[in-house]
Amino acid sequence: MIANRVRFETTHTTEFVDITNRLRDEVRRSGMRMGRLHLQSLHTTLGLAVNENEPLLLRDFEGMLARLAPANAGYEHDDFARRFDIALDEPVNGHAHCRQLLLTGFATVLVEDSELVLGRWQSVFAVELDGPRHRELAIQLDGEFASPPRSPGKAAPLAKRARNGGGNGAGNIGHDLIELELARQLLVDPGPVSEPMRRLVEAGGKRLRPKLVQLTAGIGPRSEPLRAASLAAAVELLHNATLIHDDYVDESTHRRGRPTVAAAEGPERAIAVGDYYFAKATRLIAEIGNRAVTSTIAEALDAICASQIDDVALRGRYPGDHDSYLRVVRGKTAALFAAACASGALLSEASPEIVASLRRYGDLLGVAFQMVDDLVDFSPSSGKPVGLDIRQRVLSLPLIYAAEDRKVGPEIRRLLEGNLGDAEVGRVADLVASSDALERVRGEAQALVDAAVRELETIELDGWRPTLIRLAHSAVDRLS
């Protein structure tokens, strides 16, 4: 028996890759006369099919898959807020997994007289469902060989995976390091502070900021995964510390599906826990011993706190305007995204040009992320109550746009001036949804992501570009 791998790159989101000739070559090189060629996809979004290679028919197949599992049908798999152990490079691809279920991951083709046994119109396809990507198929040739089987090629060690491939690649290893570091840090803290923080950390979260640290810390010449994990965990703790205080300020009762620290244990405990992890995170960062990194994070923290003050002040002029919104969001959300990207790159001693580009990438991504977060407030399938931002008078771009709308704006502004009970919040949410505000915000977020991706085009990223691009797209694909 001979085992081997067939590797190829796909170039489209959905693509039928005809691998028949590749398989014929494998049979020829092996010297097999009679037997079976077993074929297995090594990915959960790459299927196999035996059918006719006729371009219009392939378009028919593609259309059929899109009809049966539409990309925008809303898949629970894509709700990262509710998932655990999300890989570093996790894409939004519930539809692709569902489409794969309609195909097969395994195939066997008979071999006779050293030829594949296929009908006149039959070809073997690898069906890309979430491309473009690097893909691998495992094959085994089992039967009678004309001569002792020769290894048709050097197989890569199974443990070694491409950075941007599926499975347990570098992304998962990095993710595990962050989780281990977070757990390790919480383990040594006193119970009254660590227990509330552990509940928050274990409740999930997308871990976008630590992911950005870890990705960008691999870019420069000095890549040290453990230092990067320490910085990434500190950034996540800092983010969570700000959330604990925010939840008290916003009077939020739940976060990530669990009671907030303020709601469960009172505001005094929430203030103490937030302060503890603010201090601990800044200490962990200081202990890394890179002044540029320390300053980058400290400046972001200053911007976050200043914007929080602006945010609360703007609630008196609710819903505010586009410029005020952008100013607040740049500080409140984008500052830490930008600092995460810049600090990772600084840690790895990347060049100033790369640090600057990644900082801009993070800033644009952070603003886009917040805009999509605003859209989630109007999505019935998000798992959160619709209109929570309206009820708490939190700045929201869809609401700002809808309030400026000639048709629905006057009623929205009138409702916002009064008390916001369930009926009023529901009515405002309906009015926003009936306007073009959601579409405008989605378009604006997409444009920001496109701009973020363009920031990556001119710099050398040591192979991390595809992952950073996917991460950027995932920020706006949360609703698609």
Partner 1 sequence: MSVHLLDRELDRLEGLWEDGLSDAYRSYLDAVAAYEPALQPKLALAAALVEMGLRLQGLGGPAAAPPTLLMGDLCLARSSRLLAGAAPQSVQITFARAIEEMSAAAAAGRAAPATRELLLRALEAR
Q: Is 289 in the site for partner 1 (CB under 8 A)?
A: yes
Q: Is 245 in the site for partner 1 (CB under 8 A)?
A: yes
Q: Is 20 in the site for partner 1 (CB under 8 A)?
A: no
Q: Is 57 in the site for partner 1 (CB under 8 A)?
A: no
Stretch that binds partner 1, among 73-81, 144-152, 158-166, 190-198 (CB under 8 A): 190-198
Stretch that binds partner 1, among 175-183, 273-281, 353-361, 382-390 (CB under 8 A): 273-281
What span, in angstroms and rounded, lies between the C-alpha atoms of 378 and 389? 9
Q: Is 301 in the site for partner 1 (CB under 8 A)?
A: yes
Q: Is 263 in the site for partner 1 (CB under 8 A)?
A: no
Smaller CB separation from partner 1, 312 or 356 = 312
Q: Is 338 in the site for partner 1 (CB under 8 A)?
A: no
Tell me 104's DSSP state. B
What is the 3-class SS of 35-54, one letter each residue? Answer: EEEEEEECCCCEEEEEECCC
Strand partners, 136: 7
Please select the residue that binds partner 1; options are 50, 102, 162, 305, rule is CB under 8 A.
Answer: 305
At 339, list the tokens: 């600092």
Distance in angstroms between the alpha carbons of the first and the last residue of the chain: 45
Stretch that binds partner 1, among 304-312, 378-386, 447-455, 459-467 (CB under 8 A): 304-312
What is the 3-class SS of 1-35, one letter each residue? Answer: CEEEEEEEECCCCCEEEECHHHHHHHHHHHCEEEE
At 262, list the tokens: 């303020």
Please select the residue that binds partner 1; options are 40, 51, 294, 392, rule is CB under 8 A.
Answer: 294
Stretch that binds partner 1, among 70-78, 128-136, 291-299, 419-427 (CB under 8 A): 291-299
Q: Is 302 in the site for partner 1 (CB under 8 A)?
A: yes
Smaller CB separation from partner 1, 271 or 433 = 271
Q: Is 312 in the site for partner 1 (CB under 8 A)?
A: yes
One-character DSSP codes across 320-338: --HHHHHHHHIIIIIHHHH
Is residue 250 helix, strand or coil?
A: coil
Please select the residue that binds partner 1; options are 193, 341, 371, 438, rule is CB under 8 A.
Answer: 193
Q: Is 83 in the site for partner 1 (CB under 8 A)?
A: no
Strand partners, 18: 125
What span, in angstroms and rounded, lies between the C-alpha atoms of 106 and 49? 9
Stretch that binds partner 1, among 134-142, 213-221, 298-306, 471-479 (CB under 8 A): 298-306
Closest approach of partner 1 to the CB of residue 452, in Å:
26
What span, in angstroms and rounded, lies between the C-alpha atoms of 246 and 398? 21
Q: Is 337 in the site for partner 1 (CB under 8 A)?
A: no
Q: Which amino acid is at 310?
A: D
Question: What is the chain's alpha carbon radius of gyration, rounded to the nearest angstrom?
Answer: 26
Q: Is 68 in the site for partner 1 (CB under 8 A)?
A: no
Stretch that binds partner 1, among 41-49, 51-59, 187-195, 216-224 (CB under 8 A): 187-195
Please select the residue that binds partner 1; options are 309, 439, 460, 463, rule is CB under 8 A.
Answer: 309
One-character DSSP codes across 182-242: HHHHHHTS-HHHHHHHHHHHHT----HHHHHHHHHTTTSS---HHHHHHHHHHHHHHHHHH
Closest approach of partner 1 to the CB of residue 305, in Å:
4
Q: Is 295 in the site for partner 1 (CB under 8 A)?
A: yes
Total residues binding partner 1 (CB under 8 A): 41
Smaller CB separation from partner 1, 271 or 416 = 271
Q: Is 248 in the site for partner 1 (CB under 8 A)?
A: yes
Task: Report yes or no: 126 and 17 within 8 Å, Cβ to Cβ.
Answer: yes
Closest approach of partner 1 to the CB of residue 314, in Å:
12
Return the axis-axis angle of helices 335-347 and 225-249, rounded to nearest 10°. Answer: 160
Please select the residue that binds partner 1; options are 270, 372, 431, 453, rule is CB under 8 A.
Answer: 270
- Sequence-separated (6 or more) residues with CB below 8 Å from residue 338: 300, 359, 360, 362, 363, 366
Q: Is 264 in the site for partner 1 (CB under 8 A)?
A: no
Query: Any idea which residue has 């201090």 for tokens?
Result: 279
At 170, list the tokens: 């570098």
Q: Is 279 in the site for partner 1 (CB under 8 A)?
A: yes
Q: Is 200 in the site for partner 1 (CB under 8 A)?
A: no
Residues near partner 1 (CB under 8 A) are 189-190, 192-193, 242, 245, 248-249, 266-276, 278-280, 282-283, 286-287, 289, 291, 294-295, 297-299, 301-302, 304-306, 308-309, 312
